[in-house]
Chain A
Amino acid sequence: MIHFVLLISRQGKVRLTKWYSPYTQKERSKVIRELSGMILNRGPKLCNFVEWRGLKAVYKRYASLYFCMCIDQDDNELEVLECIHHFVEILDRYFGSVCELDLIFNFHKAYYILDELLIAGELQESSKKTVARLIAAQDSLVETAKEQASSISNIIAQATK
């Protein structure tokens, strides 16, 4: 299973974290510190796997951003590597050629998308189309609620004029 997902910038700034195994706040910071130290220092032509504390971090760099998923030693590394790419493609489709800034300012969106992709550290949906459809549906739900709210407040505002 995937124990956690990390998005870390080249400068070592955390852009997204998601934990599927119970880590305390302290442990989480330690994990991030250790792993980002290891991964950011790796050269470009090395393999995408780093062994760490009996687990294995599968990572891939996209522009200035490192995507990392940590799995058990005997999990299938390439499968997870393509999970990362699958996630990136969905983000890309959603934001329209996604860049680090998109993820910085819309980190909550990234969380929504990740939740449609993984649950319990396992892949839940391998169709990009389905994920996109579900996210769109969620967005529209939120929009509708907002419109409703604003229309009601409009009404109230007008009534109290």
Chain B
Amino acid sequence: MAYNSTTGPHHHHPTTPASHSHGRGMDNMMMHMTFYFGFKNVELLFSGLVINTAGEMAGAFVAVFLLAMFYEGLKIARESLLRKSQVSIRYNSMPVPGPNGTILMETHKTVGQQMLSFPHLLQTVLHIVQVVISYFLMLIFMTYNGYLCIAVAAGAGTGYFLFSWKKAVVVDITEHCH
């Protein structure tokens, strides 16, 4: 069922039957489908968070900027945590019977993480946090608000610049002849 686009500059009203539910509290029928710059009546992720003034938009800009920076830092931190936990090599020695009745010590070397080890559990928790934050950033970008989208992009760039600086230095030292 194709929905007809109106000639309004910013708002598209989907003409589905579900839009005639005034008594049910569904007042979010107007979703922006193109980029716009504005700070009046901007809903941000949660039902209580509505931006109405320029000051609130400035605060939201800073918060989204910091969230995007934190996301980039979290990615770098997980990478370095993974590399650090994979340096540890475990040796398992077990006695096996050898020829002539002697007992030999057989040593197995395992590299990597166990399932129940603390580094793997920490990686899993951080992965969930990363997935949730990435979906939040996607939803923020989906508001099509120009200020918030610029905040996401600038925060991502700044976070990458600040946190990947250190990572690149580490890569420089530890990985040679690649």
> A and B, one complex?
no
